[in-house]
Amino acid sequence: MDECRHTRDIGKVTPSALGCEECLKSGSKWVHLRLCRTCGHVGCCDDSPNRHATKHFHATKHPIIEGYDPPEGWAWCYVDEVFVDLGDDVTPQNGPIPRFV
Ligand SMILES: [Zn+2]
Ligand SMILES: [Zn+2]
Ligand SMILES: [Zn+2]
């Protein structure tokens, strides 16, 4: 399973926002959050209308995102398309996630 060559690049990051950075700015909704483990960008998943985490990968080539709502101990590598087990190396949330109803 662990075929990812980028695990050494997984860093300690500070989340850039409490929810998806771009969705908060535009007032859009998201389904799940994804945290970039290279720079701390918070984006939304591919089930969300705007898919900002994937757009962030295409724009920056930052390979690793962490499932982030709440942190569940896994990450995804966009380059190798594999799940990565983070174990205890998860990023705590800064505060409550803004929710849309
Ligand atoms: Zn990888
Ligand atoms: Zn978004
Ligand atoms: Zn990034």
Residue 14 CA to ligand 2 centre (angstroms): 18
- Cβ–Cβ contacts within 10 Å for residue 13, how many? 16
Residue 100 CA to ligand 3 centre (angstroms): 24
pLDDT tens, position by position, 67-95: 998 888 999 999 999 999 999 999 988 77
Relative to the alpha carbon of 24, which ligand is closest?
2
Which residues have CB atoms below 5 A from the ion given as ligand 1? 4, 6, 77, 79-80
Residue 58 CA to ligand 2 centre (angstroms): 14
Instruction: Give exposure, 76-96, as e/b (b: 16+ Cβ within 10 Å).
Output: bbbebeeebebeebbbebeee
Name the pairing type of β-strands 64-68 and 82-85: unpaired
Alpha-carbon distance of 17 to 68, in angstroms, equals 12
- Give this prediction's pTM: 0.92
- Cβ–Cβ contacts within 10 Å for residue 24, how many? 14
Q: Domains plus CATH for the chain?
A: 13-85 (3.30.40.10)
Q: Which of 98, 94, 84, 92 is nearest to 5 (CA)?
A: 84
pLDDT tens, position by position, 13-33: 999 999 999 999 999 999 999
